[in-house]
Amino acid sequence: MFTLAVLACTLGGLAVGSFLNVVIYRVPSGRSIVAPGSTCPSCATPISPQDNIPVLSWIVLRGRCRHCRAPISARYPAVELLTAVLFALTAVRLGATWSLPAELAFVAGLIALAAVDFERYLLPRAILYPTLVLVGAGLLLAAGATGRWTRLGVAGVCGAGAFAVFLAIHLARPRWLGFGDVRLAGLLGLGLGWMGPWYLFIGFMVANLLGAGVGIGLMAAGRASRSTPLPYGVFLGAGSIVALLAADPIIHWYSQTLVR
Ligand SMILES: [Zn+2]
């Protein structure tokens, strides 16, 4: 059952990654993710199903359009691979449990949000709200099936708490933190809060360490100044996924080595 779940999540991750590419490419410009079907951005020729197989088609076509030979960004197979790997790791971490679908939706939403934030400094509501609904519905299902309503309550409180803290920072220093990050904090609170409040804490810690590390690195390389904006959503997404997958070993290591 465990092996089956991991395998299904890996293959499902490739397909979901392919869908996320459409979301990342179309949602910020307000276009439909359903119609029309995918076309080559260069010559607008519709992409046939056999040229639309995640990762494989890109390799077979050597990263070029079959018709006009225009290069196709490596971002597409990269997002598909990343989604497949993170889905597989989430399945390994959670096993075939009732909360697996909710956390997979959480991971998928974070990948799309982080990618759009990275490219455009935007966290679109059109991605965030559907993710919130899917994660919420998934957790409701998990609580109903397992009777763990307290855990759902903790997740709700974590979501509301993270939203409130970020809202306070946003109101005090609007230039530090956009309102998109405030909404995102609510989603992180819900998705990580279900695992436990410590997950949320570790997620924010890792996000801020990553952000500080990248900021200092860019400044040292002369590629950024103190006022260069960084897409905080990317770090929040990455930190949350690290927490989801690795908070348990981190907490264990901490309690073993530092707290005596
Ligand atoms: Zn083309």
CA of 51 to the centre of ligand 1 (A): 12
Q: Note down the domain range covering 55.
A: 1-96
CA of 119 to the centre of ligand 1 (A): 23
- Same domain for 176 and 250, yes or no, is yes
112 domain residue, yes or no: no
- At 249, the pLDDT band (50, 70, 90 cuts) reads confident
Q: In the listed set 61, 96, 131, which residue is the last one of a domain according to the structure?
A: 96
39 domain residue, yes or no: yes
What pTM value is reported for the model?
A: 0.94
CA of 50 to the centre of ligand 1 (A): 15
CA of 47 to the centre of ligand 1 (A): 9
Secondary-structure percent of the chain, ordered helix, strand, coil, rounded to 5: 70, 0, 25
What does the pLDDT look like over 155-168, one tens digit per residue?
999 999 999 999 99
What does the pLDDT look like over 156-211, one tens digit per residue?
999 999 999 999 999 998 888 889 999 999 999 999 999 999 999 999 999 999 99
Q: How far is CA 204 from the centre of its chain?
A: 14
CA of 43 to the centre of ligand 1 (A): 4
Distance CA(143)–CA(123), nearest Å, equals: 29
116 domain residue, yes or no: no
- Same domain for 127 and 90, yes or no, is no
What does the pLDDT look like over 27-78, one tens digit per residue?
998 999 888 888 888 898 999 988 989 999 999 999 999 999 999 999 999 9
Q: Which residues, by Cβ under 5 Å, contact ligand 1, an ion?
A: 40, 42-43, 65, 67-68, 70
194 domain residue, yes or no: yes
Point out which residues pair with 134 in neighbouring strands: none
DSSP one-letter string for 170-205: HHH-TTTS-HHHHHHHHHHHHHHHTT-HHHHHHHHH
**Tally of structural domains, the chain:** 2
CA of 67 to the centre of ligand 1 (A): 5
CA of 58 to the centre of ligand 1 (A): 13
CA of 39 to the centre of ligand 1 (A): 8
